[in-house]
Chain A
C-alpha cells in the first residue's frame, strides 16, 4: 500500500510538472507583452517594467524561476488587477467554488444513488422509465441552459431564491442544482446498471433462498456491492462540475475561481490563467488519487496489487 501510494504521488508530481511546463511555454507563445499598448514609454522605462516582471531574462531562466515560485504557491502578478498576486486572487476566490462543487457532488451523487436504486428495483415499470428520462435529461441539457432556466423561473418568476450574488446559504441553492444535475444523472445511470447486474447474481438468489427480507437484501447485499464501482466515476464527475462551474458561476455572479477563469480569458490575463490551470489540474489529481485509495480500501480484490484484474 505504501509503495503504491508513493508511486501514485510521484505520478501526481510528474503530471503537475508536465502541465506547468506546457502551460508556461504555451503562454510564452501567446501574442502581446505588458508593453503592447504603451508606445509612449521611453526605452529606459520599458526596460524597468520588463525588469519588474522578470521579462528581461532569457526564457529558460524565467521558466526555472516560475517553476520554483509555483512550488511555493506563487504564480506571479495578475495582468488584470494592478499589484494583485495571482495566488491571492485564487485563494480569496476558491472558497465559494469548493463549497459549490462539494455541495453539488454530494447532493448529485446521493440523489443519483436513490434514483438509480429505485430504477433497478422496479425495473421496467414507470419508476424505471422516470429514472431513465431524468438521467437522459440531466446528461443532455447543458449546464448553462439549465442555470439560465433555473435563474429565470425560481429567481425571477417565483422569487423563491435570490437571482444572483453570494451572501448566504440561499444563494448557493440554484447554482448547486444546476451543477448537481450532471452528477445526479450519471450516477443514477451507473447505479441502475450495476444494481440490475447485482440483483441477477447468485448471492442475491442465495440471500432470498435463506429467507432474508427484501429490504435487507437490497440494503445489505445489493446496494453495497453496486456502490463500490461508483467510486471510479467520481473523478470524471469532478471534471464535469469544474467545467460547469465556469459558466454557472458567471451566470449567478458568484465570486469563485470559475468566474475568474472566464474573466481572465477575456482580458488575456495570462499569469492568472496559468495559475488557475495548475490549480484545476491539482484539484483533479487529488480527487483521482483519493478515489483510487478509497477504492483500494473498500474493494479487497485490488487491495494488494493496486490494480483491478
Chain B
C-alpha cells in the first residue's frame, strides 16, 4: 500500500480551487477580550456612562482648581461673611447675590462687598464656599483612592491567602473576620479615632482598618472556587510557585469581582469620612470636608439654605455617581444580572 502511494505522480495532486472560499470563514472583527467585551456593555449603559463623566468632571474640577490661585483662596474675611451665591452675568434668584430677608428679596452685596463675586456664596467667616466645597470634594476623592488602595492590597491578599491555604489557616482567618463583622464598623472607627490625633492621616488609617473585610470575603469565596479548577491544577503540577499562581492565574480571574467590589467600597468610604466629620471627629477645624461643611450649613439652614445645599448636593452626587457606576460595572462584567 505504502509503496503504491509513493508511485503516484506529483501532478495527481491539484488544489480544487484557488482558496478563495477560505474567506468565508474569516473573522473580520477583532477578537474581543473579556475586558473589551465588558467595556462594550458598559458603554451601552447610559446611566453608568453619565455617572462616569460626572465623576471625571468632579475629579478634574477638584484637582484642577488647585492651579487657580483665586479659587484656592480660603482666607477668612469677617466683613464678607454669609454672602449668598453671586455669579457675574447670571440673574436667577439664588445665584444673583440676593437673599430672602423678612419675606423680601434684598441684595446682600452692599458696602464692602459690592464688587465681590462669591460664585457659591461665603460662609460665616467669609470664606469662599466654592473653594471650600472643592477642597472638601478633593478630600472625599483622596479618601476614595486610599480606600481603593487598601481594598486592593489588604483585602485581596487576605482573601487569596485564606482561600488558597484552606484548612486551619482559613478557619482562623475567617474567625477574625467574623469577630470584626460583629462590631459595627463605625464603633471601631470611633474608638480608633479617639486614640489617634484627629486628621486625614487617622481617618485613612481607620478606613484601612475596617474597609477591606467585604473584599476579603468575596475574594476568598471566588478563590475557593478557582483553586479546584483544572488550569490551577495544571500550574501546580508543573511546579509553579503559589505566589506566581496567585498573580498569573487567580488575579486575572478575580478581576471582575475585585473591580466591582472596589467601586462599591468607594461610596462607603466617602460616606464614613463625611459622617465622622459631620459628628465632629473627622478632619480638624480649618480643613474643609463635605461633612463639616454640611454640619456648618445645618446650623443656619433656615436663613442661609445655600450653605448646606451646595455641599449636600455635591456629596450626594458623588455617592450616586459611584453607586450607579458600580452597578453598571457589575452588570457589564456579569451580564446575567440584568437580562
Contacts and interface: CB of A to CB of B under 8 A. Distances in A.
Interface of A: 11-12, 14-15, 18-19, 23, 26, 29-30, 136-137, 139-142, 144-145, 148-149, 152, 156, 193, 239, 242-243, 246-247, 250-251, 261-262, 265-266, 268, 273, 277, 280-281, 284-285, 288
A246 B184 CA distance: 12
Contact of B279 (A152, A265, A281): A265
Nearest to A12: B182
Interface in B168-190: 178-179, 181-187, 190
8 contacts: A19-B179, A29-B195, A136-B324, A139-B323, A242-B184, A243-B184, A273-B190, A284-B182
Contacts of A242: 184, 186
Given A239-B184, A280-B184, A140 B279 contact: no
B327 interface: yes
Contacts of B184: 239, 242-243, 280-281, 284
A145 B294 contact: yes
Contacts of B323: 136, 139-140
Given A15-B182, A152-B301, A246-B279, A140 B190 contact: no
Contacts of A148: 294, 298, 301, 308, 312
B183 A284 contact: yes
B182 A288 contact: yes
Nearest to B316: A141
Given A141-B316, A148-B308, A239 B185 contact: yes
Nearest to A283: B184
A262 B274 contact: no
A30 B197 CA distance: 11
A250 B278 CA distance: 11
Given A243-B275, A281-B182, A284-B184, A273 B194 contact: yes
A224 B274 CA distance: 38
A268 B194 CA distance: 8
Interface string B6-24: 0000000000000000000
B334 to A, nearest CB: 11
B191 A140 contact: no
Contacts of B182: 12, 15, 19, 281, 284-285, 288
Given A15-B179, A144-B294, A277 B191 contact: yes
Contacts of B139: none
A262 B320 contact: no
Given A14-B179, A250-B279, A288-B181, 15 more contacts: A15-B179, A19-B179, A26-B194, A136-B323, A137-B320, A139-B323, A141-B320, A142-B274, A144-B294, A145-B315, A156-B302, A239-B185, A246-B279, A247-B275, A273-B194
